[in-house]
Amino acid sequence: MTFEVSATAYARFMGRYSEPLAPYFADLAGIAPGQRVLDVGCGPGALAAELARRLGTESVCAVEPSHSFAAAARERLPGVDVRLGSAEALPFPDGAFDATLAQLVVHFMTDPVAGLREMSRVTRPGGTVAACVWDYGNGRSPLTAFWRVARELDPAARDGRERAGATEGQLASLFTQAGLPAPQTATLSVAAAYPAFGDWWDSLSLGVGPIGDYLDGMTHQRRGELREHCRAALPAGPFEVSAAVWAVHSRV
């Protein structure tokens, strides 16, 4: 799965959703001045930027496995401690943070339970661990329209519903398996505007994530066929795509 792409490519692909999602997610986690917070899987810095706005850069740390995204986050947010690493092995001591957050990350963790357990470890007693993932199970991800058409042409296409936490109740269950008590679940919604079909399609064609891998594995002819089927399924003019996440938080 490819996330070693430019921050600009990611912004066009997913940033138009992750940026507006960040304030809602930070609110859910109760982020407030005076806290020290960790952003796990920060990407190019959508959530970290919101955390820094609320707390100041000196109170925010971040971890990201992608070299290109970590570099982009450091450039975007001087003063934020951005480290290269994975959720399953966080490079911080026990109880270092008042809150540890993972936005749109758990479904890409190699071992989600281990990742959440690590998030709990680095959070002080009484602190908050929070995570959110797209609701693939109910067809409310930003990519639902694409995968619906793709599966009509290729029933073997994997549309995200198999990812960890992607269906109702799964993310809370992962919290419980990680030893996080009394997980609380909420749904958060965002929307992104596209001026035309071409903007929507081009944003998916930048080589980012599972869709990038899927399109890169297609012949030119099959890719063109998929594009035309997507064009027929979506408006030609300006349109909006709504999406929702499952969000879960727990006190350590």
On the question of pLDDT at 67 being above 70, the answer is yes
Query: What would the 3-class secondary structure string for the chain be?
Result: CCCCCCHHHHHHHHHHHHHHHHHHHHHHCCCCCCCCEEEECCCCCHHHHHHHHHHCHHHEEEEECCHHHHHHHHHHCCCCEEEECCHHHCCCCCCCEEEEEEECCHHHCCCHHHHHHHHHHCEEEEEEEEEEEECCCCCCCCCHHHHHHHHHHCCCCCCCCCCCCCCCCHHHHHHHHCCCCCCEEEEEEEEEEECCHHHHHHHHCCCCHHHHHHHHCCCHHHHHHHHHHHHHHCCCCCEEEEEEEEEEEEEC
Residue 231 lies in a domain: no
Query: Does the residue 18 lie in any domain?
Result: yes
Q: Would you state the pLDDT for residue 157? A: 86
Mean pLDDT of the chain: 93
Q: Is residue 115 part of a domain?
A: yes
Residue 202 lies in a domain: no
User: How many domains does the chain divide into?
Assistant: 1
Residue 237 lies in a domain: no
pLDDT tens digits, residue range 179-236? 999 999 999 999 999 999 999 999 988 878 888 889 988 999 999 999 999 999 998 8
**pLDDT surpasses 80 at 1:** no
Residue 216 lies in a domain: no
Q: Which residue range(s) make up the domain with 68?
A: 7-142+159-191+243-251
CATH number of the domain at 177, please. Answer: 3.40.50.150
Residue 62: inside a domain: yes
Within-domain flag for 118: yes
